[in-house]
Structure 1
Amino acid sequence: MTPEDRARRIKVLIFDVDGVLTNGDITIIPQPDGSGIEVKSFSAHDGLGMSFARIGGLRLGIITKRQSQVVALRARDLKLEFVYQGQAHKAHAFQEIAAKAGVTLDEMAYVGDDIVDLPCLRICGLAIATANARSQVKEIAHYVTPHAGGAGAGRDAIEFVLAAQGSLARVIEQYLDESDPTARASDIGSGNM
């Protein structure tokens, strides 16, 4: 089965965060009280892609091993339906999402970059690796994004699925139609946290 054949079946798209929706850097700014402020950078291209995905009828989420207030804020801004942080064994969360969404694992795609993502990538219908992924991830991926994590890899994954489903051009035009209420409702937040 080709990657495009797999993509045609996808209803739910789940992303790892560090190294997929970010470049993988974790910056911590120390505070006088001994605590730290975590800083991550996210791609605006990925954010717009999330709007495209919703217009195209895809359901979206993240599964990440780390707990991060920054990730919680970005997930809220992106209006993600499924948000799982602190997941040492991501396949459990992935299967729970499938049950909540009422879909089979073959109808789910996962985007990852490191070995912690392998359990989800092994069981999903469409395994997607970012351009910066570890070799073990790329070896089992059905599709490798042209861009690295934090530089548009999320958008690449979304556009690959929508293109395979034959809806990418329509979704873009629908997003650009300022009178379309679906497009307005699917848009991400304003960024004013």
Structure 2
Amino acid sequence: MSLSAQDRAKKIKVIIFDVDGVLTDGQIFVIPDANGKGIEAKGFAAHDGLGISLARLGGLRVGIITKRQSQTVAIRANDLKLEFIYQGQAHKLSAMNEIVAKAGITVDELAYVGDDIVDLPILRVCGLAIATANARPQVKGACHYTTPHPGGQGAGRDAIDFILEAQGSLDRVIEEYLEADNPAAAASDVGSGNM
């Protein structure tokens, strides 16, 4: 008997995101500098950032695995205090295996959120495979759950809310986040954008 997406979500201890098309809308802006080189810019959704704070309050460990190498992503990952940061990963499965080993979990306790075929090797083996609303059909076909929102517009938050709801902790975590005297909530997602 196959487990439902909710049953799979109950087991999750680590959630990993792709970046382009998942935490962003997939657009990559290249702005030329005075030396004729490009400066890369991306847009991230604030809903996803707050969702990552909620995930941590809910006991989830959070990270990214992305094929591209980007200073913009490094700055955002630092702002969000991500525990697992893997950039420049042409073959993402080896990064996933490192995360599983470092976290001391089984692959069934890992959720992955992806949108394109480069994500399929992880999506095919992880405990909870999540596609964004804008994901390619092949990705949606391999996943247990598809977010209501597309990448860069709250898909990351959708994935986190889905897991925390299945684990019965979403409402509690939201209230903890709102407590004025909660030091964990006060310190979460206070990014500077490297300013």
Q: TM-score when scaled to structure 1?
A: 0.98
CA contact (8 A) 1:147 1:153 kept: yes
State the match for 2:149 in structure 1.
Answer: 147
Shift of 1:192: 4.4
Please name the residue that 2:109 is paired with.
107
- Counterpart position of 2:58: 56
Paired AA for residue 5 in structure 1: D
User: What pairs up with 1:34-49 in 2 under 5 angstroms?
Assistant: 34-49=36-51
Instruction: Please give the alpha-carbon distance, in whole angstroms, between the structure 2 residues aligned to 1:48 and 1:182.
Output: 13
Q: Where do residues 44-193 of structure 1 align in structure 2 (5 Å cutoff)?
A: 44-185=46-187, 187-193=188-194
- Once the two structures are TM-superposed, the CA of residue 180 in structure 1 deviates from its matched residue by 1.5
- Tell me what 1:5 maps to: 7
Query: Does residue 25 of the first structure (1) align with residue 38 of the second (2)?
Result: no
For 2:175 and 2:102, locate their aligned partners in 1 and report how far apart those are by CA, in whole Å.
Answer: 31
Distance 2:178 2:33 in 1: 43
Root-mean-square deviation (CA, aligned residues, Å) is 0.8
Q: Secondary structure at the match of 1:123?
A: coil
* CA shift for structure 1 position 9: 0.1
Write the letter of the residue equivalent to 2:130: I
Matches of 2:75 and 2:63, distance apart in 1: 13
Aligned residue pairs, count: 192
Name the aligned partner's letter for residue 173 of structure 1: E
Tell me, in whole angstroms, the C-alpha distance in 2 between the residues paired with 1:182 and 1:91: 32
- In 1, the alpha carbon distance for the partners of 2:191 and 2:79 equals 7
Deviations 1:95-149 (A, max 9, x none): 1000000000000000000000000101100000000000000001100000000
Runs of 4+ in 1 over 3 A off after TM superposition: none
Counterpart residue identity of residue 163, structure 1: E
CA distance, structure 1, for counterparts of residue 118 and residue 146 of structure 2: 17
**C-alpha contact 1:26 1:38 (8 A) present in aligned 2:** yes
Unpaired runs of at least 5, structure 1: none
Q: CA deviation at 1:182?
A: 2.8
